[in-house]
Amino acid sequence: MQLDSAKTPDRFDNRLLAALPERDRRQILSSCEAVELRRGEVISEPGDRIRDVYFPTDSFVSLVTPPADYAGLEVRLVGNEGMIGTPLVLGVEVTQIRTFVQGAGPAWRLSSEEFGEALRRSDALRARLHRYLDVLMNQSTQLLACTRFHMVEARLARWLLMTQDRAHSDHFHVTHELLALLLGVRRVGVTKAASALQARELIHYRRGDITVLDRAGLQGAACGCYGAAEAMYEQRMG
């Protein structure tokens, strides 16, 4: 949904755009639309041509592998630290990932054509997005190890912390079914992990509504991948 021109997603800036030189940032934003992303909205399916890129500000988006003989697995959660449409940086115009809105809110939207022109005009944008792609590749490798070796409870705690960061709130909504999809486990595994975190009074969970009660405790329950991924972003992106 496109927002009124008088409204802009300025509550939380997009960090990729905010770090650009002012001239480059102004040029890009002049071509962007301010849009409101709705929870559950599907941005793309595997095989779709990438028509737009998104720079979330106070929204966040899940990227999930296409289902085969399993339900799929979340490979990335993107908020105001990143962008949607990264294959275009490498000249790839078709996505192989399902992308949908996990947390509603505003974002900047830029057509693929305008984005390509922005890349040609701005050395700073190209350099920053190349670093961002490097971070994503390293984080993807880390995610593979996390999924293989870490317990569901620790992975759930990590995911809740990541979501809290991007929601900019202690309270957000996610169902059992979606958590099972995002973590690549059965619903019973999610139930046990969420119940354990709630028994420790780290979260309150009821009918998909989650409230983080003890962030420090949740960090202690999470696998070390949480801090490592964030530190990698800060180190390489600034």
Same domain, 108 and 166: no
Q: Tokens for 131?
A: 């670093």
Same domain, 91 and 33: yes
Per the structure, how many domains does the chain have? 2
pLDDT in the model for residue 145:
83
Please indicate, yes or no, if residue 132 is contained in any of the structural domains.
no
pLDDT in the model for residue 126:
97
Identity of the amino acid at 119: L
How far is Cα 123 from Cα 164, in angstroms, rounded to an integer?
Answer: 33
> What is the tens place of the pLDDT at every residue in 159-170?
999 999 999 999
pLDDT in the model for residue 134:
94
pLDDT in the model for residue 72:
67
Name, in order, each residue with C-beta under 8 angstroms of 137's C-beta and a sequence gap of 6 or more: none
Same domain, 24 and 115: yes
pLDDT in the model for residue 68:
57
Q: Which of 79, 109, 124 is the last residue of a domain?
A: 124
pLDDT in the model for residue 23:
95
Q: Tokens for 113?
A: 């054509």
Under-70 pLDDT residues of the chain: 1-12, 67-72
For residue 212, the enclosing domain spans 151-222
The domain that holds 97 is classified in CATH as 2.60.120.10
